């Protein structure tokens, strides 16, 4: 079932879309459990666009195939750091972060050639994109600077207030109880300039708002019944009368 080209996180903290060739692609919702999916194809580079829907700063962690896209490490909702977005700010995760000035394209390809497979030797978490959004701990002496760029959140876990159990894997949480995909993974494409700065951020206590989007080839999504014909509509509207059947001799 088509969900649109932009989807919101469960708590409404962020909205996200997947762009191929600069255009948002359709997002489909599996009717059995509400899981979200997009279709990709080998060799296509993609970008992840996110918007902060709140009036405060938030930190957004991004995972692809269970890997932190900002650092070569497993994605972890407690230990990993993310990008800081200002109130109602929109920004892009343009690829695997190589430095504060460069990123390498997210590139759809064979699961066995994915970054996750190269890093871990496993494709267990391949086929899922994850976002985890934290609101900021409010401080009376905090002064927000207008127009601040998207930036890394600095500081280690000791400076962050956590809710829930530590060590929760962002990739595993997004993937739920079953693998999402085996037809596509995400490798590393061309490098490009993408500068970010650094800032401090203290997370508010509690669990983050998590949004997961699975991906696979269009053929695989068709086979799983995620895409394909729309559900029949009992009241489709004008232009669906019986005239053409009468003219055909029925």
Q: Look at the alpha carbons of 54, 57, 58, 60 in this order and tell me if their dihedral is positive or negative.
A: positive
Continuous segment of H or E residues that includes residue 103: strand 102-109
State pLDDT tens for residues 203-244: 999 999 999 999 999 999 999 989 876 667 777 676 656 666
pTM for the full predicted model:
0.79
Whether 40 and 217 have beta carbons less than 8 Å apart is answered as: yes
State pLDDT tens for residues 119-174: 999 999 999 999 999 999 986 544 444 444 456 665 433 222 222 222 223 443 33
Higher-pLDDT residue of 96, 138: 96
User: Mean pLDDT across the stretch 55-71?
Assistant: 96
Q: Are strands 151-154 and 197-200 parallel, antiparallel or unpaired?
A: parallel
In the chain, % of residues over pLDDT 70:
75
DSSP string, 180-201: --SS-EEEEEEEEE---EEEE-
Both tokens of 190, joined, read 């061309």
Spatial separation of the C-alpha atoms in residues 169 and 174, rounded to whole Å: 9
State pLDDT tens for residues 18-38: 999 999 999 999 988 999 999
Q: How many CB atoms lie within 10 A of CB 87?
A: 14
């Amino acid at each position: 079932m088509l969900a649109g080209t932009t989807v919101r996180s469960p708590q409404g903290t962020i909205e996200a879309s997947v762009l191929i060739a600069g255009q948002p692609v359709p997002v489909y919702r599996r009717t059995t459990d509400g899981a979200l999916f997009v279709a990709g194809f080998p060799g296509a580079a993609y970008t992840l666009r996110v918007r902060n829907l709140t009036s405060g700063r938030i930190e957004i962690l991004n995972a692809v195939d269970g890997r932190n896209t900002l650092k070569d490490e497993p994605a972890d909702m407690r230990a990993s750091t993310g990008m800081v977005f200002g109130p109602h700010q929109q920004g892009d995760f343009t690829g695997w972060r190589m430095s504060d000035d460069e990123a390498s394209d997210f590139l759809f390809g064979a699961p066995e050639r994915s970054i996750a497979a190269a890093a871990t030797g496993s494709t267990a978490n391949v086929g899922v994109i994850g976002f985890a959004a934290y609101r900021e701990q409010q401080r009376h002496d905090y002064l927000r600077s207008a127009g601040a760029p998207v930036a890394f959140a600095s500081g280690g876990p000791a400076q962050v207030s956590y809710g829930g159990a530590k060590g929760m894997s962002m990739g595993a949480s997004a993937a739920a109880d079953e693998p999402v995909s085996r037809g596509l993974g995400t490798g590393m494409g061309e490098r490009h300039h993408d500068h970010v700065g650094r800032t401090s951020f203290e997370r508010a206590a509690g669990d983050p708002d998590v949004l997961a989007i699975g991906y696979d080839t269009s053929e695989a999504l068709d086979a799983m019944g995620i895409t394909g014909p729309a559900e029949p509509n009992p009241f489709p509207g004008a232009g669906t009368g019986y005239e053409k059947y009468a003219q055909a001799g029925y």
